[in-house]
Structure 1
Amino acid sequence: MNGQILSAHLAGDAQFYLNNNSANGYTGVVPLGAYPNSLGDGTNGPDVTRYNAGQYGTNNSGPGGGATDIADGTGLWQVLSGGRLHEDATAPYYYGSQYDRNQIVAYRNTMPHSGSQTLNLMASDQSFSYRYSMDSRDYDGITPASTAGLQVQMSFWVKPSDWDDPDTGNILGLSLLDAANQPVFEVGYTGDNFLQYRMVGGTWHTTACQMGTQGWSEITVALDTLSNTATLGISAYNDGSSLLGSNSSVLNNQSLGLVSGAITGLQWDLRGGALDKGAVSYIQSFDDFNFALTSVIPVPEPGSVLLLILGAALLHASRRRA
């Protein structure tokens, strides 16, 4: 999609004056393009909470149609804090530049992993949190509420930013959510692009896997919602060799410490604003999310295995006596 979405002037839509001059009238749904004052710029789409992102088109049995303005936050995407709420605080005037953005947008990337667009996160002004509610198209026809008792695998490609490299703390967290919108498992990375993970109620664990910023790295998370375990792996891009590394296993069936249930959503948390040594969270790019579901065969408890063996032996003995 691109930035050319006409505003329906719905209640709650924040709009800025073109060139910050009320005589020029309003732009469309804000931010319409890379700048609020560049009405014809189709490089950036509007914030994902402002239109029907993920709900149009024919991929995965979609309904067709195109991108349209909706009441903010009534689609699959919602902003929980910061983000476009922070942008709206200055409406109808905007005083920033292309580097002063707080948003998640579809971006016409010149170097995507595939296709022509990426999902871009920018928290240049302050930290933000967004939630995405999955639908059956994400799970290839399976309703998200039906994923309890299955293995849910999520893979995606990421190209972190160079802008925040001086900050060695956690920059981004991506949580998988259950039906109550509670985090089940979280994956993320530091400002200098080391892969991290976090269990619910725990602290961030920083791994030795560092992602390059000149190419795309693939992260894979698998949650077994029957045995309540997590598996995490990464193929990290190496800027020095300009090559994608082989898959590295970080976690293998690690206990979650909770009952996970169905996986129905994602939550994005990006730390922004003034970071260490002048760093900013500008343009964290994501592409090609893929979800796969697998049936899980329960593993009997040791006592149950012994009972099965004894039962089989008794059955064999009774057959011989007969």
Structure 2
Amino acid sequence: MKSLISRLCLYASMLSAIFWPQPARAYLGSFEEQDGYRIPLDGQILSTFLAGDAQFYLNNIDANGYTGVVPLGTYPNTLGDGTHGADLSRYNAGEYGTNHSGPGGTAVDITDNSGLWRALAGGRLNEDVNAPYYNGSNFTRDYVHAYRYSGARTGSAVLNLLASETNLSYAYTLDARDLNGTAPSATAANLIQMAFWLCPSDWDDTDTDNILGISLRDAMNQTVFQVGYTGDNMLQYRLTGGAWQTTSNRMGTAGWSELVVILDTVNNTAGIAVSAYDDNTSTLASQTYVLSNQSLGLDADALTGLQWDLRGGSLSNGAASFKNYFDDFNFTVSPVLVPEPSGMLLAGLAVIALLLQRKRH
């Protein structure tokens, strides 16, 4: 009986999370300047000028077709910009702006990897070692940055990940602004919904192995659950210590798909709901559950961060991991509805009474 009541309450909590009014977008948000992300606009930036920016975006204009591609001023010791660039680990990305009750302010140079975003492997770290040039149609850059994109789901910018010569791994630390005012450390006994939109690439469709993974990390530095996709854009998930599980949900490359990840840190379970864009019909499918009430196999602590892992190097078709776009993140934190002991006792007595009544008849 206790198990049945707990399960019913869990499903009720999951449904309330899905249909709960959507919160305003926060630090991750939509990767706009107002969310705290420096993005180019016709060779300039919208935030306060920083040393090297004029050179940094000099060629990044529509007229020459380089819009959004990191130009030569990106990596250190080039054109006088040796400390920061478009890569999110090199400035105060997501820590300024006015959206979602933000503090205002503007982009500032910080010590690399001292902000909310940190490069763990590849990406900007690989560029520092041996930064190649953008050469014709060959994308030989590695970075995670906010990218001005005319096809953004909302606004004018998206998050873009590119891994060319090697794999990349970046960490993001959640903040109370992400969680609608709730401190990450206070999510240890809650239902947490993370919803976002993604648009993968069709360049790597012949590679059917995992290409990208997003890990949910807790206060004990555990990876509690992962979602991702294959080179041919099939939705995947993975439990800690297990292999990637490929679902039957393919996410189109010509439009945006929505993914909702639900983490229950009381019952230690996870769920996934997806609305996948269909390239053949140019329509967004209705939201469906891919996974419900899946046991994590571990005790999850408070949700405190995310980790992004993108496979680079030589993919099966020789392509680079390019065009991994994300937009419009939002989080909802709500308590898991577990009955009080007295309520559970009353429910149990009611069932016993009903069974006795049926037995008499």
TM value normalised by structure 2 = 0.73
Give CA-to-partner distance per residue, 1:194-253, whole Å, 9 cap, x none: 000000111000000001100000000001111111110110000010000111211111
1:137 aligns to 2:173 (yes or no): no
- Give the Cα–Cα distance (whole angstroms) in 2 for the partners of residues 133 and 235 of structure 1: 26
Q: Tell me the residue number matched to 2:72.
A: 36
- Of 132, 136, 141 in structure 2, the residue corresponding to residue 101 of structure 1 is 141
Provide the aligned length of Structure 1 versus Structure 2.
287
- Of 302, 306, 322 in structure 2, the residue corresponding to residue 282 of structure 1 is 322
- Give the Cα–Cα distance (whole angstroms) in 2 for the partners of residues 76 and 219 of structure 1: 23
Within 5 Å, give how 1:294-313 maps onto structure 2. Answer: 294-298=334-338, 305=344, 309=348
Task: Output the amino acid matched with 1:224.
Answer: D
Contact 1:150/1:294 (<8 A) preserved = yes
1:170 aligns to 2:210 (yes or no): yes
Contact 1:87/1:102 (<8 A) preserved = yes
Contact 2:133/2:141 (<8 A) preserved = no
- Of 251, 259, 267 in structure 2, the residue corresponding to residue 227 of structure 1 is 267
Q: Tell me the residue number matched to 2:331.
A: 291
1:246 aligns to 2:246 (yes or no): no
TM superposition outliers: structure 1 runs of 4+ over 6 Å: none
- Of 194, 200, 214 in structure 2, the residue corresponding to residue 160 of structure 1 is 200
- Give the Cα–Cα distance (whole angstroms) in 1 for the partners of residues 229 and 168 of structure 2: 16
1:2 aligns to 2:42 (yes or no): no
Select the structure that is richer in helix. 2
Q: Tell me the residue number matched to 1:186.
A: 226
Give CA-to-partner distance per residue, 1:152-172, whole Å, 9 cap, x none: 000100000111111110000
3-state secondary structure, aligned to 1:277: coil
3-state secondary structure, aligned to 1:49: helix
- Give the Cα–Cα distance (whole angstroms) in 1 for the partners of residues 224 and 124 of structure 2: 26
Q: 1:279 to 1:90 in 2, by over 3 A?
A: closer
Q: Tell me the residue number matched to 1:54.
A: 94
Q: Quick one: percent identity of the two aligned structures?
A: 53
- Give the Cα–Cα distance (whole angstroms) in 2 for the partners of residues 202 and 312 of structure 1: 40
- Give the Cα–Cα distance (whole angstroms) in 2 for the partners of residues 300 and 228 of structure 1: 19
Contact 2:72/2:133 (<8 A) preserved = no
Q: 1:160 to 1:237 in 2, by over 3 A?
A: same
Q: CA deviation at 1:310?
A: 5.4
Task: Output the amino acid matched with 1:2.
Answer: I
- Of 184, 187, 205 in structure 1, the residue corresponding to residue 245 of structure 2 is 205
Contact 2:213/2:226 (<8 A) preserved = yes
- Of 123, 129, 136 in structure 2, the residue corresponding to residue 83 of structure 1 is 123
Give CA-to-partner distance per residue, 1:98-145, whole Å, 9 cap, x none: 711111000001100101100000002210100000101101111111
Q: CA deviation at 1:279?
A: 2.5
Contact 1:60/1:141 (<8 A) preserved = no
- Give the Cα–Cα distance (whole angstroms) in 1 for the partners of residues 221 and 204 of structure 2: 29
Task: Output the amino acid matched with 1:110.
Answer: S
- Give the Cα–Cα distance (whole angstroms) in 1 for the partners of residues 106 and 305 of structure 2: 23
Contact 1:150/1:226 (<8 A) preserved = yes
Give CA-to-partner distance per residue, 1:13-57, whole Å, 9 cap, x none: xx99x99xxxxxxxxxxxx96211598xxxxx7000011011001
- Give the Cα–Cα distance (whole angstroms) in 1 for the partners of residues 202 and 350 of structure 2: 62
Q: Tell me the residue number matched to 1:120.
A: 160
Task: Output the amino acid matched with 1:35.
Answer: P
Give CA-to-partner distance per residue, 1:167-203, whole Å, 9 cap, x none: 1100000011101332110000000000000001110
Task: Output the amino acid matched with 2:170.
Answer: Y
Q: Tell me the residue number matched to 2:113.
A: 73
Within 5 Å, give how 1:14-33 maps onto structure 2. Answer: none
- Give the Cα–Cα distance (whole angstroms) in 1 for the partners of residues 344 and 195 of structure 2: 35
Contact 2:275/2:284 (<8 A) preserved = yes
Higher mean C-alpha displacement, 102-111 vs 52-61:
52-61
Contact 2:215/2:225 (<8 A) preserved = yes
RMSD: 2.8
TM value normalised by structure 1 = 0.82
3-state secondary structure, aligned to 2:185: helix
